[in-house]
Each structure stands twice: as structure tokens, then as C-alpha cells.
Amino acid sequence: MGFEIYMNTAILLIGGNLGDRTGNLEKAVQLINETAGKVVKISSLYQTAPWGAVDQPDYLNQAVEIHTTMDALTLLHTLLEIERKIGRIRQEKWGSRVIDIDLIFFNDSILSQPELKIPHPRMQLRQFVLIPLREIVPDYVHPVLHKTVQELADICPDTLPVTRYQQS
């Protein structure tokens, strides 16, 4: 009897607006690859205006696709530990942060648990999520809205600027 490992696909959005923004995102990708699952796709970096609490620096965001053997909740706890290792301190909602790792999609799962909702409940309202995702998974179908990432980006009501980041 053969032994098979079922590989889950997770789509993440990482971002941050404090400290060494590019270095923090690079460190997050490295730790995700080492502890959460194999990084198989990664988007460009995108600079985005802050959402919610707007009196703060611009964010850098990046989409990441991984293959993992973890279930969604175990993956969430692993991502929270990566945030902690990089220096994330959770204070105010939508406040500035060194790093943020959001679990956007997990296979085509629909989960609603107190600590985890998949797909991410507001991702379709935020261009800073959709534009990096569109770069790596434009045809990924939202399991609730039944639209692709590309279609969601096209109809997103968010008007905050999202621009590809060029390091100086």
C-alpha cells in the first residue's frame, strides 16, 4: 500500500509598512518556505496606500502561493508564529505593522471559524490584495463569489493606488 501526502495549495498576502519593508517581506517568504510549505509562486512587490487608519506610512505587499501538508488552522498558527519571529506586535486594528501574513485562499475551501475565515472575508474589496494575487493566480476562482481573481480586480470598488514597487 502506497503512502501519499496530500498537498494543499494556500494563497497568502504578506505586507508591512514599518522598518526594512523589503527585508521583512524577504524574511517572511524565507520562513514560510522553511516552516509552512514550499513557495511555488511569488508576485512582485507592490506599494500601497494604507487602508483603514490612513495616518501611517505606505505598505509593501506581495502575494505568495505555497504547497503545504498542513491543514488551514495549523497553517494559520504557523504564519502567526512567523509574524511574531519577525517582530509583529498586534495592537490597533489596521495599524502600522512590521509584517502581516494573511491566508486568503486554502484550496477551494470555505471556512468560518472564530479565528479563521477562508476565503479572506474582505479580499474582494481591496485592490492591495487583488493586484498582487492577479499577478500569480489570475484564474483562481473565489469559492463563494464564483469569480476569478482577475474578474474581482476588474470590479473592485477600491480606488486606493497600488503600484509596482521599484527598489532604489
Q: Annotated active-site positions, please?
A: 88, 97, 100, 102
Helix, strand, coil distribution of the chain in percent, nearest 5 = 30, 25, 45
* Cα 49 from Cα 95, distance rounded (Å): 12
Q: Are the CB atoms for 44 and 62 separated by under 8 Å?
A: yes
Where are any strands of DSSP class E within the chain? 8-16, 38-42, 46-48, 59-68, 100-106, 111-113, 116-118, 162-164
Q: What is the dihedral sign for C-alpha 68, 65, 22, 156?
A: negative
Answer whether the bond into residue 119 is a cis peptide, omega within 30°: yes
